[in-house]
């Protein structure tokens, strides 16, 4: 037990610091993925001239492995666009790209599930397209896609371990650094794995409760 105390408990501040960086990266990536996913989805569905471009981007983001995207954003984008200029930014941007592709498809399925008649009813009472979208369509989309959105957040958390490869100092990075200092991987890596597993488990359990509660409160029909 001495090893656990020396290598894990006494290093708790370093590990916590890493975990906070993980949270920071994931939160930024999640927020950007929701906005980006919504934008891609609306472009694909409602802006005819940009539809092929939006479709291409969605398919590219979805079908390229996250690690490949991370390396691509990290090494290619700075030369191509002069941005991102830090590893931290490259990390969350890459995570956001992939998830925005998945979320765009999730949102599209959610929007298409809203019956046409409701939109027509909105127009019939004099609402504009934007108002119909904001007041009638999107609230229902949020309800039906909540489980998939939470699930996507857990995917982001899992993928976020890879940003340590480009030296973002997240939990994975700190734990590997500790391993390199102490040369004792058993306790450190096991504890790190346990933290990730517990966190992802907690997020999905809370997310499931939340979306069930939302559905009970606002859901229509048997749902």
Partner 1 sequence: MFSDALRESVDLSLFWDYREVMLSGLAFNFHVFAASATAAIALGLGAALLRVAQALPFRVLGTLHVETFRNAPDYIMLVWVHFVLPLLLGAALGTRIEFHPFASAVIALGLVYSGYYAETFRAGIQSIPRGHLEAGRACGMSERQILWRIVMPQVVRRMLPEGLNQLVSLFKATTIVSLITVPDLMYRVSMVTATEMKPLPLYTGAALLYFAVVFAAASLVRLASERWRRRILA
Contact positions vs partner 1 (CB under 8 A): 59-60, 62-69, 71-72, 75-76, 79-82, 154, 157-162, 164-165, 172, 176, 179, 185-186, 189-190, 192-193, 196-197, 200-201, 204
Q: Residue 65 CB: number of other CB atoms within 10 A?
A: 11
| Shortest spacing between CB 172 and partner 1, in angstroms | 6
How many residues comprise the chain? 223
Burial of 39 (0-12, 13-18, 19+ CB in 10 A): middle
Alpha-helical regions (H) of 113-184: 116-124, 129-132, 138-160, 171-182
Beta carbon nearer to partner 1, 98 or 145: 98
Beta carbon nearer to partner 1, 93 or 132: 93
Beta carbon nearer to partner 1, 132 or 157: 157
Judge contact between 57 and 124, C-beta under 8 A.
no
Beta carbon nearer to partner 1, 45 or 165: 165
Judge contact between 21 and 168, C-beta under 8 A.
yes
| Shortest spacing between CB 10 and partner 1, in angstroms | 19
| Shortest spacing between CB 160 and partner 1, in angstroms | 8
DSSP result, 11-32? GHHHHHHHHHHHHHHHHHHHHH
| Shortest spacing between CB 50 and partner 1, in angstroms | 20
């Amino acid at each position: 037990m001495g090893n656990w105390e020396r290598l894990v408990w006494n290093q708790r501040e370093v590990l916590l610091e890493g975990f906070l960086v993980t949270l920071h990266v994931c939160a930024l990536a999640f927020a950007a993925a929701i906005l980006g996913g919504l934008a891609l989805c609306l472009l694909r569905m409602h802006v005819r001239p940009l539809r092929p471009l939006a479709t291409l981007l969605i398919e590219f983001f979805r079908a390229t492995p996250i690690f490949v995207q991370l390396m691509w954003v990290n090494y290619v984008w700075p030369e191509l666009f002069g941005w991102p200029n830090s590893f931290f930014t490259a990390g969350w941007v890459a995570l956001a790209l992939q998830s925005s592709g998945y979320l765009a498809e999730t949102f599209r399925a959610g929007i298409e599930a809203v019956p046409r008649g409701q939109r027509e009813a909105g127009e019939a009472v004099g609402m504009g397209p934007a108002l119909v979208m904001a007041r009638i369509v999107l609230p229902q989309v949020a309800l039906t896609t909540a489980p998939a959105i939470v699930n996507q957040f857990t995917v982001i958390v899992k993928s976020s371990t890879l940003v340590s490869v480009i030296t973002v100092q997240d939990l994975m990075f700190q734990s590997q650094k500790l391993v390199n200092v102490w040369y004792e991987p058993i306790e450190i890596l096991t504890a790190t794995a346990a933290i990730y597993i517990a966190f992802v488990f907690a997020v999905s359990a809370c997310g499931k409760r939340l979306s069930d509660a939302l559905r009970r409160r606002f859901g229509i029909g048997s749902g």
